[in-house]
């Protein structure tokens, strides 16, 4: 009986530590976490980034538009379990757009099987579509990638990808929607995005 009480106390203490560290991590305003790690210069050289008009909506708007899983990932910076996303092993020609605001973000030609359990891309479609933020959650320092238009959390970027960039954009399936190749060109044209 005493052993059960000790474990219960230990669990409560650890839960409190996790809660406090998560609370502290979220108190930094997002605009103070924005960084320029130089990835887009590496990928696109001196090509000017696209100027994206911001889409600012309330949490109530996003709760009505998104599924609970999409809201958790895109608006609350959650993640899906590895190997469970519908696009993890998906192969097809076309593009992937933000599941929240529909802005094109990735091309299927840049998708590869990294073996990490999440869909992986070695670059975005064009410069200026992704915002990079410092993420110190879970006792790690990572770079979070978000949609430049709606600020929806996509995933994280790592420097262990294939050539030519050496980057791995590790993206949640729930943060994306697939547009097949027969609709992709018209879709990109409607957004005035010309992939580099």
Residue recorded with tokens 């469970």 = 84
Catalytic position from the list 98, 101, 147, 170:
170
Q: Is 57 helix (H, G, I), strand (E, B) or coil?
A: coil
Cα gap 91→94, rounded to integer Å: 10
Cα gap 184→180, rounded to integer Å: 6
Residue 147 falls in the annotated catalytic set: no
Residue recorded with tokens 């949640």 = 172
Q: Where are the beta strands (DSSP E) in 38-129?
A: 94-98, 104-107, 111-112, 120-121
Tell me the catalytic residues.
170
């Amino acid at each position: 009986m005493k052993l059960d009480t000790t474990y219960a106390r230990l669990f409560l203490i650890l839960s409190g530590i996790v809660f406090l560290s998560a609370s502290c991590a979220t108190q930094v305003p997002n605009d103070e976490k924005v960084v320029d790690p130089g990835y887009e210069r590496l990928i696109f050289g001196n090509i000017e980034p696209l100027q994206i008009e911001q889409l600012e909506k309330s949490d109530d708007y996003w709760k009505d538009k998104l599924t609970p899983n999409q809201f958790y990932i895109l608006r609350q910076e959650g993640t899906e379990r590895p190997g469970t996303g519908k696009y993890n092993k998906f192969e097809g020609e076309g593009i992937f757009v933000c599941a929240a605001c529909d802005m094109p973000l990735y091309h299927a030609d840049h998708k590869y099987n990294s073996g990490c359990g999440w869909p992986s891309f070695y670059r975005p479609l064009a410069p200026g579509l992704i915002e990079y933020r410092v993420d110190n959650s879970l006792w790690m320092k990572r770079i979070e990638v978000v949609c430049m238009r709606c600020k929806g959390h996509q995933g994280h970027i790592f420097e262990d990808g294939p050539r030519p960039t050496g980057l791995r954009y590790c993206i949640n399936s729930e943060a994306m929607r697939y547009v097949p190749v027969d609709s992709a060109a018209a879709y990109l044209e409607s957004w005035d995005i010309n992939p580099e």
